[in-house]
Structure 1
């Protein structure tokens, strides 16, 4: 009886098992995705700028050699040599404070406006909301992003270029080495609209270049993904591949391809823009040229090759920089999603 009573008690009193209530899944809102674009894009942009900045300084100095004087630099290596001899290696980081802010604003703006471009495509009815955008649409969203980002970028690049290229010709006062004096001088001589001197060149470079930047990255990623999927031996393995991100080296390769495409395809517009933005300031300075006037002067000075001065080093430095930017941005979004 005692045993029976014990068994009966056990059946009547269930064991208490702690149960953790499952929280309902909350999809990310558009606001959280926008915050991700801004925060993670800023982090990726700052890291990429530290990698590429010395090469960017050399590129701007090669591009901005005056058309009324003999060429000062024979090429990228000679520019590196002369710059390090004159200012030391850290001189190649001259004026980096403004570009760091610019890199954070530029990269976050690129990813932010690219997402807006995707929303525009979906709203247009070109593609159903529950499907991935086809490659032509992704090239468009890149152009959309670059066009809007150019408005943010032109003032920052104007200050950067004037700091990067010291004015050492006879009769010309050397440019200030800090951003605030440069900003004051631009406003004093040309007013608020003076900060958008070179806007057309930036617009051409960013709209076309960012179409290539995002488009080449997505195109290369698709090719690599298709290549990986062809190696799958079973349907289960194929589904597992589709659910996973690309291997790290393939993500970097896609990012490097994007950077090289961005810089090469519209480099002439960037050259003209850099020449416009490195003209001296002051009462005795020559009048500012338009985009087409600057382009005509460069053609008379050096012909077609003058538009590609500094292109090789720019494409070279863009590969690791862009690879880092995309890898860091995609990695942060994958491993630290904001809810």
Structure 2
């Protein structure tokens, strides 16, 4: 396959060291992640509440709109932002880790001699570096998402509505009941989701971007004119569409793994003598609700992922292009 014309350059850019590039990925990725989290968080809260409805009781929510309505009526609009402090840290960690590990994945391909440094990576190679980024990022994300899910879906006290929870008490409870290992409860689900989702996130964005550049360069009469077109950023609407396609691809393709993970992570702390495994939880969900249960909350998730990912890539690419760190 012809190399992708939109593939980003290698980790070590002219005038930059690998360390400088890594700092850039972490800093600008953190900024982009925080922006995206503020946009998507209410939708994420609804998604987790839909996913974590118990099997043995009638469904509390008829769908995303009903969940929004009930949540606002019972606790107000701010309840949809409950626990956002930890996810803001998580969003910064997630996005910066994805961009950092994706750059490290590129460097690994170059160092292993699998890809020459003098040409851009092809689109399939970018899917591979995306999977690399997702796999390593999953180990950063699982503890953060565990705390987030327990705050978003607090366990009701006997005869009383659930009390709001804060990150530090949740962290203490997890450590007291399950030790350090307990923070990675649901890791397999996160690993599956992030490895496949990371490949889809970077891969879909670069694929759509490559298509747009391919359409633009059809009119180029000379090689110099083509290179001039390739050196210019796409129009904002095309950047947004490429980023939005990344968010939808990431969430839709591996949503069942995320559903199982959310169910595992919303089990009350110390509530089960034996922790259910990823496969046991998935089998139980399939028996109760089939494929539809696996994708419960997927629509609202894709709806929030499209603008969120669009903003993340636009902010990240814009910062790197206009404010390069030296």
Aligned to 2:137, the other structure's residue is in SS state: helix
Residue 212 (structure 1) shift: 0.3
Partners of 1:279 and 1:288 within 8 A in 2? no
Q: 1:173-184 counterparts in 2 under 5 A?
A: 174=162, 176-184=164-172
TM-score by length of structure 2 reads 0.93
Partners of 1:145 and 1:210 within 8 A in 2? yes
Greater C-alpha radius of gyration? 1
Partners of 1:311 and 1:218 in 2: CA distance: 23
Aligned to 1:325: 312
Deviation string, structure 1 residues 112-136 (Cα, Å, up to 9, x no partner): 0000000111122222111111111
Partners of 1:316 and 1:29 in 2: CA distance: 38
Aligned to 1:312: 299
Give the gaps of 5 or more residues in structure 2.
1-12
TM-score by length of structure 1 reads 0.89
Residue 176 (structure 1) shift: 5.0
Say which is worse superposed, 187-196 or 164-173, in terms of deviation. Answer: 164-173
Q: 1:234-249 counterparts in 2 under 5 A?
A: 237-249=225-237
Label 1:140 to 1:308 Cα distance change in 2 as closer, same or farther (>3 A). Answer: same
Say which is worse superposed, 164-173 or 177-186, in terms of deviation. Answer: 164-173
Aligned to 1:301: 288
Aligned to 1:156: 144
Label 1:128 to 1:234 Cα distance change in 2 as closer, same or farther (>3 A). Answer: closer
Residue 189 (structure 1) shift: 0.6
Partners of 1:176 and 1:182 within 8 A in 2? no
Deviation string, structure 1 residues 154-210 (Cα, Å, up to 9, x no partner): 000000000001223747994651000100100011010000000000000000000
Equivalent pairs counted in the alignment come to: 314
Label 1:147 to 1:26 Cα distance change in 2 as closer, same or farther (>3 A). Answer: closer
Deviation string, structure 1 residues 41-75 (Cα, Å, up to 9, x no partner): 00000000000000000000000001111111010
Partners of 1:192 and 1:55 in 2: CA distance: 30
Root mean square deviation, CA, Å: 1.7
Partners of 1:268 and 1:169 in 2: CA distance: 29
Tell me, yes or no, if structure 1 residue 212 matches structure 2 residue 196: no
Partners of 2:213 and 2:241 in 1: CA distance: 12
Aligned to 1:193: 181
Label 1:36 to 1:206 Cα distance change in 2 as closer, same or farther (>3 A). Answer: same
Aligned to 1:77: 65
Label 1:298 to 1:156 Cα distance change in 2 as closer, same or farther (>3 A). Answer: same
Q: 1:65-214 counterparts in 2 under 5 A?
A: 65-168=53-156, 170=158, 174=162, 176-214=164-202
Aligned to 1:42: 30
